[in-house]
Structure 1
Amino acid sequence: MPGKRTRRKLTKKQQRKRRRQKHAKERDKLEEEAEKQRLLQPEYQKWLQSQEEMQEFQRLAEERERQVAEESWLRREATAQQQFRMDEAKKRREQEEVERLQREQAKERAEREEIQRRQREEETRKAAKAAAEFDAMMESMDVYLNNPHVEQPPSHLLRVMETHPEERACEFFSRTNCCRYGHACTFNHRRPMLARILLIRHFFNHSMLQERRAHKEYAAAEEHLELTEQDLRHDYDEFFRDAVEELEKFGTIVNFRTVRNTLEHLRGHVFVEYTSERSALRAFTNLQGRYYASKRLNVEFSNLRTWRGAVCGT
């Protein structure tokens, strides 16, 4: 029957297990007795001792190797930590330097903006002041020009403008009201705000007043093909009639003199002297922005000492 067969298998299995356990106990007992016998032998004791010493040596070697590895790791770790601290300190210094530079730049930018703001305010103030002064000047000039009962010109027109007040006067400019160095001259140029004489720079222009430089291509040109003094005189007479006709609209002219000089800073200058400062001022204001021969007029007041010194010829 199935149940009986199962019990039989289980019984046989337990019997085999008990036999194995018995054999194992007997084997262990035999090994213990053999081990006891071997322990009584000096050679085996020496072998055991050598094995123990070898194991101890191996343990000590492994311990030393572990210690060396640990010390090496600690050194590397210490070096890494030190390098890390150095890197962090360097980063902090660099960051602090960047922040310091940013603060300085921000401070400089703020100071610069403040200076620019003050400059703008100052320029605005000066511009407003100049505009107010200009309006007042134009109003006083208009009153002076249109009211003959006002004998004295406005006080602001009685001033003299100076380029370098601390320097001595430029002798050539004082004598001719012209200087070859212009605004670059280091000496003082004194210009009146009002005078009876007007200076119109480069008013008369003629090819014979140009500086002549011989050219090999035209050196052998026939003389009768060139301009003559008669041509210059004829052209100047026409210019004189045109200019005087227009300038006499502003007042009576006492002197009308033109500089005949080939130098660039003197060439074609015209001095016009009126009988009164009122007439000169009227001419000055009306000639502003005017053109002659496609050239804009450059008009200013002149304080010449003598005519002979101003118009010196070629």
Structure 2
Amino acid sequence: MSNVYGRYVLDVDVLTPMGMNLDISLAVAQADLARFNQHEAENGVDKFTYAKADYIKAEDKQERVVEMVDTLLSSMLNKLPKTLKPVPVILSVPGSVENSYLLKWVEESGHAKWLSKIEISNSGGPRFINESLGMLNQQDAVICIAVDSLFSELESLISDQKVMGSQNPWGLIPSEGGAGVILTKKNIVETLKLKPIATLEYFLAEWNTTDRRGMMRLVRKAASTFEQLGRVYSDMNNSRDNTEDYGFALGARAEKFTNPQQPTLINDLWGTIGQASALAILCSFTQMHRSSEPASIFMYGLNGDRGLLRASLCDYE
């Protein structure tokens, strides 16, 4: 998929260790209020950085995911214009969560009466963005929600040497949370006189890249279409493959970007929330971008997927 003209973002929200909505999450993260925790290794020397949402009561990963879905569904349905209810929803959850369990929970919840269709996906990152846009092609509007908890996998990620720590500068910060986005189309916006907050213009992706050149190829394709690619917002983490991939992407067409050496990274704000990170960076863009010019959103899936989304704010002054 490339041209996504006529696709709009009506509203967004996030759930992170820093807060239960986007405003609080950004305010706490930008205030740098000791937002990350340290896990001390058994040797007493190594310390690994992580973030945990302490307000989530459940202990089991599956129950934590359900609790996050509940919170984000409530938020999205509250933000959804009444004229669009009932609405289809697509939920992205980790593969460790039983889809049948989650589906049964949603169908029996108080949210069900406002939902015309419930679809559950185990895809994340740019692949979930692609699925959501595909679903929108058949609908007037779609609620897209992605949640994940890398915090729940902290020990195994440390064992695999994937966590950033005192002895390892290359790595991710296991975190948890989710994001929600309401997508709709141009004709629906005009007919119902809705007020979207952002417009999507262009989306490209590559799946399962292994050569650390995936984003470079996407940038070259986008650069052949647009004169300027604007500021960069990204969910890349501090792993070596993400860092090198970004470096090659800049080397491809650095002159097309605005201040590309200083991208806005949500990994620095609240850590890596796994397959929910791509949706979360789109949400963050809608509040952090301060320009009428379009921006480029770089999406880095943990499985090698890469995505580039061009978006702009509506009616920015």
TM-score under structure 2 normalisation? 0.23
Q: Whose helix proportion is higher, 1 or 2?
A: 1
Which structure is richer in relative contact order (CA contacts within 8 A, separation 6 or more)? Answer: 2
